[in-house]
């Protein structure tokens, strides 16, 4: 999956999550018995948006590097961090997340956007259309995506930290070697001056 496709997929999921959150806010104003559940759903959607924005930033950064030739060794297939790259190859993850959020949007679309009688519209505005069990399943799904995307980011951060640590040890070893060589040269120079 190329960087632009990944970015487009991530942006699509962010947009639909934002729309669903907005619809949920409309229900909070009128719903009485499900406010805490709706607020939890909004929090889950917000968490998903945060993780996806991070993914979007990383994919755009990778696209920028490739387009500007800043990393001559970079290949189009390795523009992202390794785990994130593998996740992006699984296009269905983003598509599945998008589908589920679009279904949620259809399920909670405000009554003004559905052709209902005025009486039906009034009662629908007062009553959250989703059952508690269904909402909990949706929140579990959203939480699953948050965990999956966050895990990819965490694994790549850990991989980068280990690479940095390895380079630091290599650099430290080189510095120690150079110091010992310089000390040896200084000793030889002193002994040459003394003995002559």
- The number of residues in the chain equals 196
Contact by Cβ (8 Å): 111, 124:
yes
* Mean predicted lDDT score pLDDT of the chain: 79
Determine which helix (DSSP H) or strand (DSSP E) holds 155, and give its type and residue range: helix 132-195
pLDDT digits (tens, 9 = 90+) for 16-70: 888 888 877 766 666 665 677 888 888 999 999 999 898 888 777 766 555 655 5
Q: Is the pTM higher than 0.85? A: no
pLDDT digits (tens, 9 = 90+) for 165-192: 999 999 999 999 999 999 999 998 888 8
CA distances from 181 to 38, 65, 168, 172, 192 (A): 68, 39, 20, 14, 16
Closest Cα to residue 42, out of 32, 56, 52, 28?
28
Reply yes or no on whether the pLDDT at 76 is more than 50: no
Determine which helix (DSSP H) or strand (DSSP E) holds 13, and give its type and residue range: helix 3-30
Joined together, the tokens standing for residue 185 give: 């040269």
Contact by Cβ (8 Å): 14, 52:
yes
């Amino acid at each position: 999956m190329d960087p632009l496709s990944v970015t487009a997929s991530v942006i699509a999921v962010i947009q639909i999550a934002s729309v669903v959150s907005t619809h949920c806010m409309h229900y909070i104003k009128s719903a009485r018995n499900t406010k805490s559940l709706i607020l939890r759903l909004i929090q889950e959607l917000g968490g998903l948006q945060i993780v996806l924005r991070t993914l979007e930033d990383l994919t755009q950064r990778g696209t920028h590097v490739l387009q500007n030739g800043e990393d001559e060794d970079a290949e189009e297939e390795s523009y992202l961090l390794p785990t994130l790259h593998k996740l992006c190859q699984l296009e269905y993850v983003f598509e599945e997340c998008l589908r589920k959020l679009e279904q949620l949007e259809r399920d909670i679309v405000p009554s003004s956007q559905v052709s209902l009688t005025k009486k039906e519209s009034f009662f629908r505005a007062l009553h959250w259309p989703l059952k508690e069990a269904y909402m909990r399943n949706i929140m579990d799904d959203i939480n699953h995506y948050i965990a999956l995307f966050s895990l990819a980011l965490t694994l790549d951060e850990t991989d980068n930290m280990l690479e940095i640590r390895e380079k630091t040890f290599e650099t430290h070893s080189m510095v120690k070697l150079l110091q010992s060589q310089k000390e040896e040269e200084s000793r030889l120079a002193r002994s040459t001056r003394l003995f002559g």
